[in-house]
C-alpha cells in the first residue's frame, strides 16, 4: 500500500473524529439546555451513522484512489445518495420519527461529515495527475 494513501487515511480519520466530536459536543450542549429530560437517541444514532458511513465510504475512496482516479467524482456522488438512502431506510424501519422539528439532528452531523469528506476528495483530486495516464 502506498504510504501517502495510508497517511491520507489517518489524517482523514483524525479530522473526521475531531470535527464530528466538536459538533456533537455543541449539539449535545444546546439540546440538553433547550430540552432538559429529552432523549438523545436520534442524535446519537445520527452521529454514529454519519461518522461510520463516512469513514467507510471515504476510506474506500482514499484506498481506491490510485486505481479509480477517473471515477472518484462519480463514486463520491453516488456515495452521497447511498448514505441518504440507507439513513432513510434505517429511520423508517426503526422507532425514530423524522419530523421537520428534529431534522436538524440528522442534518448537523451529515453536513459536518460531508464537509470533511469533500475536503479530502478535493485534496486527492488535486494531487492526481491525469495527464500521465497511459
More confident of the two residues 69 and 120: 120
* Average pLDDT value for residue range 62-71: 80
Q: Do residues 43 and 105 make contact, with C-beta atoms less than 8 angstroms apart?
A: yes
φ, ψ for residue 94, nearest 5 deg: -115, -170
Rg (CA), the chain: 17
* Average pLDDT value for residue range 48-69: 87
Q: How many CB atoms lie within 10 A of CB 117?
A: 23
* Average pLDDT value for residue range 106-123: 88
Q: Do residues 83 and 106 make contact, with C-beta atoms less than 8 angstroms apart?
A: no
Over the stretch 16-37, which tens digit does the pLDDT of each residue have?
A: 999 999 999 999 999 999 888 8
pLDDT for 11 equals 92
Mean pLDDT for the chain? 84
Whether 61 has a pLDDT exceeding 60, the answer reads: yes
Amino acid at each position: 500500500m502506498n504510504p501517502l494513501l495510508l497517511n491520507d487515511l489517518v489524517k482523514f480519520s483524525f479530522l473526521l473524529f475531531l470535527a464530528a466530536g466538536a459538533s456533537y459536543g455543541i449539539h449535545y450542549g444546546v439540546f440538553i439546555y433547550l430540552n432538559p429530560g429529552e432523549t438523545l437517541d436520534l442524535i446519537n444514532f445520527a452521529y454514529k451513522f454519519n461518522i461510520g458511513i463516512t469513514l467507510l465510504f471515504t476510506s474506500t475512496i482514499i484506498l481506491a484512489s490510485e486505481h479509480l482516479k477517473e471515477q472518484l467524482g462519480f463514486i463520491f456522488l453516488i456515495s452521497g445518495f447511498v448514505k441518504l438512502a440507507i439513513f432513510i431506510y434505517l429511520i423508517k424501519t426503526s422507532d425514530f420519527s423524522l419530523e421537520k422539528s428534529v431534522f436538524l439532528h440528522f442534518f448537523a452531523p451529515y453536513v459536518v461529515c460531508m464537509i470533511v469528506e469533500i475536503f479530502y476528495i478535493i485534496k486527492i483530486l488535486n494531487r492526481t495527475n491525469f495527464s500521465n495516464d497511459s
